[in-house]
Structure 1
Amino acid sequence: MREIESLPDLGATISGGGSLRGLRLQDLDLTGHEDDLLARSDVEGMVVLGGTMSDALAAHLRGHGALVFPGDPHAPVNPYRSTLYQPHELYAGLREHGYAATPDSRAYHWARDGAVRHDAFVTLLRAIHDDSMGDALDEVIGPRAVAGVMGGHAVERGTDRYAGAALLGHALADAGLTVVTGGGPGAMEAANLGALAPTADALTEALARLAPVPSFRPDVGAWARVALDVHDDLLTTPLRTPEPQVRSIGIPTWFYGHEPPNVFCTGIAKYFSNALREDGLLARCTAGLVVLEGAAGTVQEVFQSATRLYYAAAGDALPVVVLVGRRHWTQTVPVWPALTALAAGRPMAERVHLVDSVEDAAALVTEAAPA
């Protein structure tokens, strides 16, 4: 089996003369190759995921043993897409018609409606979409060292906590790490912003421009519009180093409809399943995880990462987990005592840390990151 996600690859495969059996064609416009494919009968076991083709070609492929997955004209997103989302895709139509009309908002309601009606086709498409997101995420991240930053969605722009999370993201990205967050607002947005900002001066200016709209409540539209403007300007500011780098990735979910995605990302991997999203996010934090102050969702992420460390086999390379905020994690939400009790006598004891500053957190992660 071989996945083909681009027309040049498909053209080379067809012209190469080899068998087309067992190929996986993902989200391709087959119009330009229709005559070539109609002339071929060696397509048994081929799987065609979405894309564009005539009824005649679809019938021909099915007639010779291929499996052609249809799309859903009512779906606000393409379940077979082979790439991560870009901010302007998810917020398309925001300025003209408001947030409710965007693909992001419509995808949430489409998924919810499908769940309420127990629509098996919608469930299938959501599952295929999420698998496609994982595949696209792997291709973008590749072998890069990834640092995760977790934190609460309620942290407002213009606050010291927001600025601290942004400085953390910037320091990690400048150290050559790809910064991954849960992709939502608050501390997650701040860390993605800091990572995307090419220079410290650009970050300072961005923080000032965002501060007048501190939260996505009550108006997601106003919150997202100013962010999109800042995002576009950041992309025109050159990096200090000429080498391209995937600095900032967001991995949000439509499970939480009240959390719109932040836009400060090189790519956005948005999932319908929060369970798949959480597991995939933490599994990719190969360089380490920094946990800023947060509540229930952040606590869940702490213990999901702790489970990986607790059950790691002897000799495994373990990422560091750094909690920021002694008072918060020992008194307000006393996670640290439970975490250290689990770690006692195990290799993970040397990989969990509690600090009070984002500077200390960044230093611990960058020092422990794989070369």
Structure 2
Amino acid sequence: MGMPEGTRGPEERRLGPVIRRREQIQPGTTDQRLLDSEGDSEWVHTDPWRVMRIQSEFVEGFGALAELPPAIAVFGSARTAAGTPEYEEGVRLGGALVDAGFAVITGGGPGAMEAANKGAREASGISVGLGIELPFEQGLNPHVDIGVNFRYFFVRKTMFVKYAQGFVVLPGGLGTLDELFEALTLVQTRKVTRFPIVLFGTEYWGGLVDWLRNTVVAQGKASEKDLMLFHVTDDVEEAVGLVTKETGH
């Protein structure tokens, strides 16, 4: 059913929800491009195809984590060395969270994340790692029992917030700060409710807290009550007690 000879091409073409007109009309049809076994393969790198990848990551993440019991996410530096006091505190924290009835979710990497996963596994709890594709990827640590690797940071972040009832933040770097401030923003804007955030390590986090109080709040960039969105402690039992109390678990 070709176009009659002498007839001009269409001025408008509808491709599902997309309308193309004039010079933006593409030759061929969607079915034709799907069934054509030859041609350019660059389409696998286009934004519409990435949307499908993003969708698949959400589906896989939701499917893997939907049946988790109440869980707490533990963040911290991948550079925390095994055997150090910080590492051992992470191990104790992971075990104590399991003893309180929580699953433990981390970023799945080495260092502080590995410590919390190790503590959870040794306490016979559920140890979860949500990894991310990085140029220097080291893979999930051996103490992870349920692991999901993500391509996109924002999908991974959604999983942390959706399936954790609170955060405990061990000393960490830029990635840890990213997760911390996203959580604080979500609580401040009431996108999430009943979401305890505990900073573990008063010496490490003290400078940040002072800056928030003496600069950010003092200059009116945040309110005094925003300092109540988080707690700071050096005690594992207190950290677990805080997340237990605020989650009503």
- TM-score, normalised on structure 1? 0.49
- Please tell me whether the aligned partners of residues 127 and 146 of structure 2 are also in contact (alpha carbons under 8 angstroms): yes
3-state SS of the aligned residue for 2:172? coil
For residues 238-249 of structure 1, the aligned pairs below 5 Å read 247-249=126-128
Measure how far apart 1:359 and its partner are: 3.0
Amino acid at match of 2:73: G
- Please tell me whether the aligned partners of residues 58 and 155 of structure 2 are also in contact (alpha carbons under 8 angstroms): no
Task: Rate the CA distance shift 1:335–1:296 in 2: closer, same or farther, 3 A.
Answer: farther
- Please tell me whether the aligned partners of residues 324 and 356 of structure 1 are also in contact (alpha carbons under 8 angstroms): yes
- Please tell me whether the aligned partners of residues 250 and 265 of structure 1 are also in contact (alpha carbons under 8 angstroms): yes
Task: Rate the CA distance shift 1:336–1:310 in 2: closer, same or farther, 3 A.
Answer: farther
Per-residue CA distance 1:181-213 (angstroms, 9 max, x = gap): 111111001101101113xxxxxxxxxxxxxxx
- Please tell me whether the aligned partners of residues 133 and 271 of structure 1 are also in contact (alpha carbons under 8 angstroms): no
Per-residue CA distance 1:247-281 (angstroms, 9 max, x = gap): 21111111353342112123001111112112321
Per the alignment, residue 99 of structure 2 pairs with 174
- Please tell me whether the aligned partners of residues 152 and 187 of structure 1 are also in contact (alpha carbons under 8 angstroms): yes
Structure 1's unaligned 5+ residue stretches are: 1-68, 70-113, 199-238, 240-245
- Please tell me whether the aligned partners of residues 188 and 229 of structure 2 are also in contact (alpha carbons under 8 angstroms): no
Per-residue CA distance 1:161-183 (angstroms, 9 max, x = gap): 11110100000011111111111
Amino acid at match of 1:146: A
RMSD after superposition: 2.9
Structure 2's unaligned 5+ residue stretches are: 1-33, 35-40
Amino acid at match of 1:277: R
- Please tell me whether the aligned partners of residues 127 and 143 of structure 2 are also in contact (alpha carbons under 8 angstroms): yes
- Please tell me whether the aligned partners of residues 88 and 115 of structure 2 are also in contact (alpha carbons under 8 angstroms): yes
Per the alignment, residue 212 of structure 2 pairs with 338
Per the alignment, residue 45 of structure 2 pairs with 119
Per the alignment, residue 80 of structure 1 pairs with none
Measure how far apart 1:290 and its partner are: 0.5
Correspondence 1:140 to 2:64: no
CA distance in 1 between partners of 2:107 and 2:193 (Å): 23
Amino acid at match of 1:344: E
Amino acid at match of 1:133: E
- Please tell me whether the aligned partners of residues 184 and 229 of structure 2 are also in contact (alpha carbons under 8 angstroms): no
Correspondence 1:151 to 2:76: yes
- Please tell me whether the aligned partners of residues 145 and 178 of structure 1 are also in contact (alpha carbons under 8 angstroms): yes
- Please tell me whether the aligned partners of residues 255 and 273 of structure 1 are also in contact (alpha carbons under 8 angstroms): no
Task: Rate the CA distance shift 1:297–1:156 in 2: closer, same or farther, 3 A.
Answer: same
Measure how far apart 1:128 and its partner are: 4.5
CA distance in 1 between partners of 2:61 and 2:223 (Å): 30
Counterpart among 175, 187, 190 of residue 112 in structure 2? 187
CA distance in 2 between partners of 1:187 and 1:312 (Å): 29
CA distance in 1 between partners of 2:205 and 2:212 (Å): 10
Task: Rate the CA distance shift 1:336–1:282 in 2: closer, same or farther, 3 A.
Answer: farther
Task: Rate the CA distance shift 1:264–1:309 in 2: closer, same or farther, 3 A.
Answer: same
Per the alignment, residue 181 of structure 2 pairs with 303
Amino acid at match of 2:144: C
Amino acid at match of 2:111: G
Measure how far apart 1:154 and its partner are: 0.2
- Please tell me whether the aligned partners of residues 319 and 368 of structure 1 are also in contact (alpha carbons under 8 angstroms): yes
3-state SS of the aligned residue for 1:176? coil
- Percent of matched pairs sharing the same residue: 28
Task: Rate the CA distance shift 1:256–1:319 in 2: closer, same or farther, 3 A.
Answer: farther
Amino acid at match of 2:156: R
Amino acid at match of 2:224: A
Correspondence 1:272 to 2:151: yes
- Please tell me whether the aligned partners of residues 77 and 113 of structure 2 are also in contact (alpha carbons under 8 angstroms): yes
3-state SS of the aligned residue for 2:57? helix
Per the alignment, residue 18 of structure 2 pairs with none
Runs of 4+ in structure 1 deviating by more than 6 angstroms, as ranges, are none
Measure how far apart 1:124 and its partner are: 5.8
3-state SS of the aligned residue for 2:101? coil
CA distance in 2 between partners of 1:258 and 1:138 (Å): 22
Per-residue CA distance 1:73-97 (angstroms, 9 max, x = gap): xxxxxxxxxxxxxxxxxxxxxxxxx
Amino acid at match of 2:45: D
- Please tell me whether the aligned partners of residues 95 and 116 of structure 2 are also in contact (alpha carbons under 8 angstroms): yes
- Name whichever structure is richer in strand by fraction: 2
- Please tell me whether the aligned partners of residues 167 and 197 of structure 2 are also in contact (alpha carbons under 8 angstroms): yes
Task: Rate the CA distance shift 1:123–1:302 in 2: closer, same or farther, 3 A.
Answer: same
- Please tell me whether the aligned partners of residues 310 and 343 of structure 1 are also in contact (alpha carbons under 8 angstroms): no
CA distance in 2 between partners of 1:319 and 1:273 (Å): 24
Measure how far apart 1:122 and its partner are: 7.2
- Please tell me whether the aligned partners of residues 145 and 370 of structure 1 are also in contact (alpha carbons under 8 angstroms): no
- Please tell me whether the aligned partners of residues 149 and 181 of structure 1 are also in contact (alpha carbons under 8 angstroms): yes
Higher relative contact order (CA 8 A, sep 6+): 2
